[in-house]
Amino acid sequence: MNPKQFIIAIVLGLALAAGTLFALRMQVPSEPRFALVLPAPDPVAEFSLLNQHGMPIDQTVFEGQWDLVFFGFTHCPDVCPTTLQVLAAARATLQENGQVPLPRIVLVSVDPERDTPELMRQYVNYFGEGNLGITGTLDEITKLTSGLGIYFEKHAQNGDDYGDDYAVDHTAAVLVINPAGGFAALFSGPHVIDNYVHDLPLVMGGN
């Protein structure tokens, strides 16, 4: 083999190697960029609460489908409705893109004193069909939130008298629960539609 043929052989070999590497990379799916994916999903703690129709539910309500779970309350002035609207828009976009399965949107009340099942039903319906609202006693809500690392605390709006005029500080993350009822991933704020549209198919496809 003369020097010219040797150089050509090297160039062709490098080109073939580069092409093979590119093809392998193309076969590797993208990874989630915005969601924190847990190495091993954590099971949801046992609880006994009510759905928005007043029917008793427990931790098995999270089994059988993917859920996007947000902890908030119906009197929340901004973060809660904004986040739920983002989730609804992201779900609609995923549906338009042909995504199967589609996640369910779940609102767990951190203000069970005011959030009756009927009020929860009216509220979650604002953000589309098929959503789940969860409320019940404070003790049972705390079982669920504590097991998932969710913080919430009631505080008075004016002075020390709570009355009916109070707010609830709470974690603004959205949790992804897998069909086995395991806490699989978490989206922190700020919540952006495109973040969910990009990451959810990868999270749901990889768990």
Which range of residues forms the domain containing residue 2?
A: 1-30
Domain tally, the chain: 2
Same domain for 26 and 93, yes or no, is no
Q: What is the mean pLDDT of residues 68-81?
A: 96
pLDDT in tens, 137-193: 999 999 999 999 999 999 887 665 566 779 999 999 999 999 999 999 999 999 999
Same domain for 37 and 22, yes or no, is no
Length of the chain as a residue count: 207
pLDDT in tens, 91-119: 999 999 999 999 999 999 999 999 999 99
Same domain for 52 and 94, yes or no, is yes
Share of the chain above pLDDT 90, in %: 79
What is the Cβ-side half-sphere exposure of residue 177, based on CA atoms within 13 angstroms?
A: 23
Query: Are the CB atoms for 35 and 175 separated by under 8 Å?
Result: no
Q: Say if residue 116 is exposed, middle or buried (CB neighbours under 10 Å; 0-12, 13-18, 19+).
A: middle
Same domain for 97 and 172, yes or no, is yes
